[in-house]
Amino acid sequence: MNSTAGKAELVIKNAKELLTCKDDSPDLIGLVNDGWVAVSGGLITEVGAKKDIEPMISAETEVIDASGKVVAPGFVDSHTHVVFGGSRVGEYFAKIEKLSQEEIKRRGIETGILTTLTPTRGLPVEGLYDQTAARVRDMIVSGTTTLESKSGYGLDHDTELKQLEVNELLAQRLPINIASTFLGAHGWPHDSAKEAYMDFLIREMIPLVGNSKLAKFCDAWCDEGHYTAEDCRVILEAGIAAGMRPKLHSEGYSYIGGAEVAAELHAASADHLNYAPRHSLRKLAEAGVIGTPLPGIDFAVGHPLPFELAPMIEEGLEVAIATNCCPGCWCTSMPFIIILACRRHGFSAERAIRAATIAGAKALDLAGEVGSIEPGKRADIQIWNLEQHEDVAYHYMTNPVGVVIKDGAVVVRDSRILI
Ligand SMILES: [Zn+2]
């Protein structure tokens, strides 16, 4: 090759294992030994062997040697509530110590999502951004390059919009894709009846958020004591009318038919699914909905019914996993979620890596752009200081991520963020 047009801006060479995570890979992760990757213009331009890519190196090409290491797509964390103020550490220990409701009340410990409502409402946008950005920087250092982020800790006009504004700031200021989700139906405020609040969502907030293009998805929490399946249908249909595709918190703590609604409305994903029976899982699979069980929240709350992977796979569901980073599950690390998915829920390492990459991209309607290492996709790539991919689920609590590349630029080197 002698034209500069054929030269690469960045080349990753000699990956001991290159996990392409192509959707149709028979081994789930598209494993290539001794893999090379070429990048230009922020995109992956070529994936192959030394003979394919070495001729694309010029004097200007940045070459990263991945000898003895694993190269993988950046993680796609497809379910988070990362924009919040406050903490629920009191509730966390109350649950660990199995305190009675009376004792929790006596000690004045607040519980549930409303605990962080006041702190989130009280922060100015830059203060909320600063707290959130610290968590998102940790996520980037842990290999995440695409992040879904929900509102839902304001439950009023100004704070819901403020959370979505923080999402925009994150996307502008940090090297990460943000998929923004409006979750006004996370609950309803103490001082409001559910019906009145739903009316406010449907008449005012959802059209406003949709018209302002502040969110790609509209979400709701379907569970006993929260919104009913029929409530969720009405809320998500309003979201569809405003241009937002549905996602749904479904069957996390009870089975009340949310999965059926998610299937009928062709939601991008149905998330949690602890109590979803097989026939619901099958309906989700048939409708092309991605199932997103959440190993982190099952761990953090000591869930009475941790989700089961096998029925999901047997019913044909594509499974994604995500951190569900929130005040009830303060987790910024996709590698930790992979560890939990494998050890506690029976994922193979390959299944967990797929769930954290290409399947997560599908849950965000982004599989054409991210989630795998293929020509034409964004150059969102990470390099693990590991010799084999299984070690990502086996080496606990040491960040395996040495290098993160976002849109073709190195943003993490030696496990340190550069921005
Ligand atoms: Zn959630």
Phi-psi region at 30: left, alpha or beta (left = phi > 0; alpha = psi -120 to 50): left
What is the spatial distance between Cα 138 and Cα 115, in angstroms, rounded to a whole number? 24
Distances in Å between the alpha carbon of 156 and those of 118, 149, 409?
Answer: 11, 17, 38
CATH (domain of 246):
3.20.20.140
How far away, in angstroms, is 58 Cα from ligand 1 center? 46
Q: What is the residue range of 180's domain?
A: 76-363
How far away, in angstroms, is 59 Cα from ligand 1 center? 47
Say yes or no: 19 and 62 in one domain: yes
How far away, in angstroms, is 209 Cα from ligand 1 center? 19
What is the spatial distance between Cα 324 and Cα 80, in angstroms, rounded to a whole number? 4
Residue 4, pLDDT score: 59
Say yes or no: 404 and 326 in one domain: no
How far away, in angstroms, is 221 Cα from ligand 1 center? 8
316, 321, 327, 328: CA torsion to nearest 10: 50
Return per-residue pLDDT of the chain as tens, 419 residues.
445 568 999 999 999 999 999 999 999 999 999 999 999 999 999 999 999 999 999 999 999 999 999 999 999 999 999 999 999 999 999 999 999 999 999 999 989 888 889 999 999 999 999 999 999 999 999 999 999 999 999 999 999 999 999 999 999 999 999 999 999 999 999 899 999 999 999 999 999 999 999 999 999 999 999 999 999 999 999 999 999 999 999 999 999 999 999 999 999 999 999 999 999 999 999 999 999 999 999 999 999 999 999 999 999 999 999 999 999 999 999 999 999 999 999 999 999 999 999 999 999 999 999 999 999 999 999 999 999 999 999 999 889 999 999 999 999 999 999 98
Model pTM score: 0.97
Distances in Å between the alpha carbon of 193 and those of 226, 307, 339?
Answer: 12, 32, 41
Say yes or no: 106 and 238 in one domain: yes
Helices 157-173 and 125-141: angle between axes, nearest 10 degrees: 50
Q: How many domains does the chain have?
A: 2
Say yes or no: 112 and 193 in one domain: yes
The two structure tokens encoding residue 392: 């990502």
Say yes or no: 249 and 306 in one domain: yes
Q: Classify the C-alpha dihedral 136-142-144-148 as positive or negative.
A: negative
CB 181 within 8 A of CB 150: yes
Residue 1, pLDDT score: 42
Say yes or no: 282 and 381 in one domain: no
How far away, in angstroms, is 324 Cα from ligand 1 center? 6
Alpha helices in 80-192 (DSSP H): 89-96, 101-106, 117-122, 125-141, 157-173
How far away, in angstroms, is 79 Cα from ligand 1 center? 6
Distances in Å between the alpha carbon of 204 and those of 235, 255, 311, 314?
Answer: 12, 30, 40, 42
CB 36 within 8 A of CB 344: no
How far away, in angstroms, is 80 Cα from ligand 1 center? 6
Say yes or no: 302 and 243 in one domain: yes
How far away, in angstroms, is 19 Cα from ligand 1 center? 28
SS3 409: strand
Q: What is the 3-state secondary structure (H, E, C) of 390-407?
A: HHHHCCCCCCCEEEEEEC
Say yes or no: 184 and 330 in one domain: yes
How far away, in angstroms, is 63 Cα from ligand 1 center? 39
Taking only Cα atoms into account, the Rg of the chain, rounded to an integer number of angstroms, comes to 21
Nearest to 120 by CA among 90, 96, 151, 85: 85
How far away, in angstroms, is 104 Cα from ligand 1 center? 24
Say yes or no: 18 and 137 in one domain: no
The two structure tokens encoding residue 228: 């009913």
Say yes or no: 62 and 97 in one domain: no
How far away, in angstroms, is 150 Cα from ligand 1 center? 8
CATH (domain of 13):
2.30.40.10
Residue 115, pLDDT score: 87
How far away, in angstroms, is 294 Cα from ligand 1 center? 9
How far away, in angstroms, is 183 Cα from ligand 1 center? 9
CB 383 within 8 A of CB 70: yes
Phi-psi region at 219: left, alpha or beta (left = phi > 0; alpha = psi -120 to 50): beta
Q: Which amino acid is at 263?
A: A
Say yes or no: 58 and 195 in one domain: no
Residue 2, pLDDT score: 45
Say yes or no: 147 and 28 in one domain: no
Residue 6, pLDDT score: 85
The two structure tokens encoding residue 18: 């290159």
What is the spatial distance between Cα 337 and Cα 368, in angstroms, rounded to a whole number? 24
How far away, in angstroms, is 410 Cα from ligand 1 center? 30
Cβ within 8 Å of residue 41, ≥6 positions away: 9, 408
Angle at 137 between CA 39 and CA 11, to 5 degrees: 15
What is the spatial distance between Cα 52 and Cα 55, in angstroms, rounded to a whole number? 7
How far away, in angstroms, is 32 Cα from ligand 1 center? 35
